[in-house]
Structure 1
Amino acid sequence: MEYRSASIMQGAEYANVRALYRSSGFSDEEMKKPIIGIVNSFNEICPGHANLRILTERVKQGIYANGGTPMEFGTVGACDGISMGHSGMRYVLPTREMIANDIEAMVEAHKLDGIVLIGSCDKIVPGMLMGAVRLNLPAIFLNGGPTLPGRMTENNPYGGQYIDHSIIQQSEGALKQGLISEEMFNWVENNAVPTIGSCAMLGTANTMCCLAESMGMSLPNSATIPAVYSRRYAVAFETGKAIMELVFKNICPRDIVTKEALTNSIRVNSAIGGSTNAVLHILAIAYEAEISLDIFEFGEISISVPHLVPMIPAGDCTLLDFYEAGGVQAIMKSIRSCLDKQDITCNTKSLDENLSICEIRNKNVIREMDNPVHQCGGIAILKGNIAPAGAVAKPSAVPSSAHHFVGSAHIYESEEDALLGIRNGEVVSGEVVVIRNEGPKGGPGMPEMYKAMKLLVGMNLGDKVCLITDGRFSGSNNGCFVGHICPEAADDGPIAYLKNGDMIEVDLNARTIEALNVDFEQRKKETSYEYNRNVKGYLHHYKRTVSSSSNGAIIPNRD
């Protein structure tokens, strides 16, 4: 078999290519082997990526051991936590498309034969998977692993013995209400995140790493290994060996990431109570793989599986508990009867083969279908006159008392205004806080309303106030919230025409979101609405080209 890279490695006409590789120290023998790109998103900013240099070296060793030549290149890797709650968050979702484009450009420019994708955090993982299915060359994903959780045995708001990064913002709200002391607040800040790794709860980072494994793009039992465990480095070596088997057998991402694989991942996301952001990312991966999947189909698939793993913020367990209970393979075994057949995964085995050797080690952490944490699925897609093109909620993280919520609208035109208002005590029990102009175009960049919701939870308003927005939320949010409202305000959606005092009904059981006794068509005739942020640079281009969040907030890239 002649590999792709050989087309620019042979003959006098490509002597310049061989000379350039020799100038970097590559030997003739190395240039005759398949050339494997390693996409390393390491940087010194993102704690979820702090160990990626070491992992990359182990991947290289695995590639060499199985007959390939590794060549590393980098891409961006923003930290959602550090970007949260200020103007920098507008850049984070747009990096997803940057990463996919980086991968495409580097792989095609240099005619690489396969790629190993190495990352851990929120937009990096889906960006890498999008690039892989777009290119459709042999590829495999490796994550850096979650952090170990902090330990808090007394007055733990999650009810267990562990805490994570998301408790800090919640504690700010509690501090403002006088519910905790400043000494306690400082202790939480200093003890919530004891090691490197992606955040210990089931936020978007760990959700997407778990879903990469569930769709077959990561080795079985790899997603949940803590970042500081030695097993993480062994899996990196095994990943390097595995990419060579994919190259030798010409198994490509679209052989693995089928409609059935994505459907299975949606069910896994529902079972584990994964991030609302998974909706954006699964839809975007489907687009790149040229698979037909829409937001309402996502919703119908989600409700077919109940919530089975009580992970923070929808329970008291962490990724460490989930790992020790058996991780992704174990939850897939628990819902095996609901899963579609998948003929091939990145270890060249079928899903059935992989699950046949899997064990569920703790049935209190990974429940059976007849003993769910919540009967509802992890994700619900809502529809109504506020969101005719859909909205996203996470019933597993919403207190049951707030699954049906009716309240009067308290409107903010931006996240910044909302944070100021909440901190000043403007929001009261019984209100529906509306934050608009924060969608993919309006933001631009669709920032997370994480801080606003966490403040409300910390102020003991999590089930007494509902927050709705055309922006999005973190996977670590809890309380009563609905995001991704479409069309967004910047697309002249109904949310733009809501007024203070309008009565809004959110019913998670009926999957509806309605403004009561409001005729939006009449309001549009009577009212002009315009809110515009002047942006430049990449956000200018992003704002002009990004699609609706109900389409995955993709930037279309084919005719």
Structure 2
Amino acid sequence: MKTRSSDILEGPGWANVRALYKADGYSQEELEKPIIAVVNAYSSICPGHVIFRQLSERVREGIQAGGGTPVELGMIGACDGIAMGHKGMKYILPTRQMIADSIEAMAEAHRLDGLVLLGSCDKIIPGMLMGAMRVNLPTILVNGGPSLPGRMKKDNPYGGEFIDHSIIQESEGALQKGMISKEKFQWIEDHAMPTMGSCAMLGTANTMGCLAEAMGIMLPGTAVIPAVYSERLAAGYRSGKQIVELVRRNIKIRDIITKNAIYNGIRVNGAIGGSTNAVLHLIAIAYEGEIELSISDFGKICEGIPHLVPLIPSGNRTLLEFYEAGGVPVLMKELESILWVQEKNCQGKILREVLEKVQNFYPEVIHSIENPVHTRGGIKILYGNLAPEGAVSKPSAIPDKALVFRGKAKIYEGEEEALKGIRRGDVQEGTVIVIRNEGPKGGPGMPEMYKAMKLLVGMHLGDKVCLITDGRFSGSNNGCFVGHISPEAAQNGPIAYLEDGDEIFVDISRGLIEAADVDFEERRKKKKPFVREVKGCLYQYAQNVKSASQGAMIPNRREYDREEENR
């Protein structure tokens, strides 16, 4: 079999390369097989990635059993939860680009034949898929799986018996208001996340794992296997064997993640009530695969998709129960009539074949289209004079009474200022909290407003105020919120010119966000823009990043240069 790596491993002219591999301990026999990279984002920082030291061994064993030669390379993988609510969150979205760039550099520099991507958490999975789409090699993703949930039957704010990591921030709001004791708060901290794994709710980490499986780049049924289950290791071994088969058959990632596969991912995201961050990530993944996908397209594709799985924060079920109910394949079976079922997966099968024998034995966890959790889905794209290029919300996580909201604006120039104000008790019922200058350029890095929204929910204000921002939200947020407002403040967007007391109207169902009585053009003449000092890698990111409505990605193709030439 002729491989990419054989171009630099065969013949006298490449003896120097063989010598370097042999210095690593590889034999001549191994160098005659496909060279498969295990791209490992292991660290002992991120709980979703701790499993990868062990899991990578099983993947390597699978590659060897399949007739390939594994090589392993490290990849950064920051934890959103640890970076939350301070300067560190500004670096999280930029790491997505760093990961994609690193994969491109390593795959091309070493003429690798295939990739097994080991990533679990929020920006790591999309960054890896972006890099793989760019180099277009045979690829399989193996995530580390969710943690097991904590258990709390009494006074559970989610209404069930399980809790997850996101309850901690809500509980801080409850503690602030005197609704729970310090002892109860400490108990929640110690029991909310009892094992390693990505956080047990449907945050961005588990959303992107589910969407990767839905798009066919993971083995069916593997996205939500708990991190601590033995089946997780078996999935790593099977993925290792399968990547060699993909190399033999020359099935590349762009043969799998096609436009229709991404459309399937968008519809699955709507049905599971997935993270709003999926909008950014799927647009960016599509861009790297040279697939046309706009924020408007995203809204049209998921329009009318009902919410079928009541996972925290849009219900009281956990990823453990979703796994036990059959996970992504069972959900896709319920959606089969509105999916593109001819799409190929990393097994070389088409989706229709995968779904043939799938049955739903837990309809109380994975609902049918005829009996949805909500008729409204997981994502809504909003427009109006506050967001002429679009904004993003999550209807499935918004209480019924807050789907239409009208209130007076309270302006904060950034997340830290907002957190101080919320903790001081500045926010009253009926307020529209505006957190601006937190977009891709303005933050820079488009940090999440997770803490602010969770504090408000914990204070029982989640459906009594609305939070709007040019920043992002976590997949675990609930309450009334709108993010990704575009253009952002740093790009002279209307949100930059809002003032305290302006009346703002948000209608999630109709997709509207307006400040109807504001003359933004007149205000632009009178107000200077807010500017933050930026240094280091964030400076380069802020200089080059595109709008949130374009996936907050950094362009890397010639056609974007023409935009400047035509001005």
User: What is the Cα deviation at residue 278 of structure 1?
Assistant: 0.3
SS of the residue corresponding to residue 384 of structure 2 reads: coil
Superposed, 1:205-244 pairs within 5 Å as 205-244=205-244
Q: Which runs of 5+ in 2 are unaligned?
A: 559-567
Q: Per-residue CA shift, 1:97-124, capped at 9, x if unaligned? A: 0001110100100000001000100000
**Maintained 8 Å contact 1:149/1:320:** yes
User: What is the Cα deviation at residue 328 of structure 1?
Assistant: 0.4
Residue 9 (structure 1) aligns with: 9
Q: Distance in 2 between matches of 1:45 and 1:352?
A: 40
Q: Per-residue CA shift, 1:219-250, capped at 9, x if unaligned? A: 00000000000000000000001101110000
RMSD value, Cα: 0.7
Residue 199 (structure 2) aligns with: 199
Q: Distance in 2 between matches of 1:38 and 1:163?
A: 33
SS of the residue corresponding to residue 106 of structure 1 reads: helix
Q: Distance in 2 between matches of 1:484 and 1:74?
A: 31
Q: Per-residue CA shift, 1:7-31, capped at 9, x if unaligned? A: 1011111111011111111000000
Residue 324 (structure 1) aligns with: 324
Residue 537 (structure 2) aligns with: 538
291-300 vs 465-474, which moves further? 291-300
Superposed, 1:121-160 pairs within 5 Å as 121-160=121-160
Residue 299 (structure 1) aligns with: 299
User: What is the Cα deviation at residue 360 of structure 1?
Assistant: 1.5
One-letter amino acid matched to 2:338: C
One-letter amino acid matched to 2:63: I
- TM-score (structure 1 length as normaliser): 0.99
- TM-score (structure 2 length as normaliser): 0.98
**Maintained 8 Å contact 1:267/1:304:** no
Q: Distance in 2 between matches of 1:326 and 1:478?
A: 25
Residue 401 (structure 2) aligns with: 401
Q: Distance in 2 between matches of 1:529 and 1:509?
A: 34
Residue 98 (structure 1) aligns with: 98
Hey, which bits of structure 1, 4+ residues long, moved more than 6 A?
none
Matched, 1:264 2:264: yes
Superposed, 1:24-423 pairs within 5 Å as 24-423=24-423
Q: Distance in 2 between matches of 1:211 and 1:284?
A: 14
**Maintained 8 Å contact 1:324/1:361:** no
Residue 547 (structure 2) aligns with: 548
Q: Per-residue CA shift, 1:380-430, capped at 9, x if unaligned? A: 000000000000000000001000000000000110000000000000000
SS of the residue corresponding to residue 147 of structure 1 reads: coil
User: What is the Cα deviation at residue 358 of structure 1?
Assistant: 1.7
One-letter amino acid matched to 1:469: T
One-letter amino acid matched to 2:480: C
% identical equivalent positions: 64
Q: Distance in 2 between matches of 1:93 and 1:167?
A: 23
User: What is the Cα deviation at residue 516 of structure 1?
Assistant: 2.2
Q: Distance in 2 between matches of 1:185 and 1:343?
A: 47
Residue 557 (structure 1) aligns with: 556
Q: Distance in 1 between matches of 2:209 and 2:357?
A: 21
Q: Distance in 2 between matches of 1:29 and 1:213?
A: 34
Residue 431 (structure 1) aligns with: 431
**Maintained 8 Å contact 2:261/2:343:** no
**Maintained 8 Å contact 1:48/1:146:** yes
**Maintained 8 Å contact 1:203/1:474:** yes
User: What is the Cα deviation at residue 344 of structure 1?
Assistant: 1.1
Q: Which runs of 5+ in 1 are unaligned?
A: none
User: What is the Cα deviation at residue 520 of structure 1?
Assistant: 1.2
One-letter amino acid matched to 1:111: R
Q: Distance in 1 between matches of 2:361 and 2:521?
A: 55
Residue 565 (structure 2) aligns with: none
**Maintained 8 Å contact 1:145/1:232:** yes
Q: Distance in 2 between matches of 1:540 and 1:87?
A: 14
Q: Distance in 2 between matches of 1:446 and 1:429?
A: 27
User: What is the Cα deviation at residue 258 of structure 1?
Assistant: 0.8
Q: Distance in 1 between matches of 2:342 and 2:242?
A: 18
Q: Per-residue CA shift, 1:275-308, capped at 9, x if unaligned? A: 0000000000010011111001101111231000
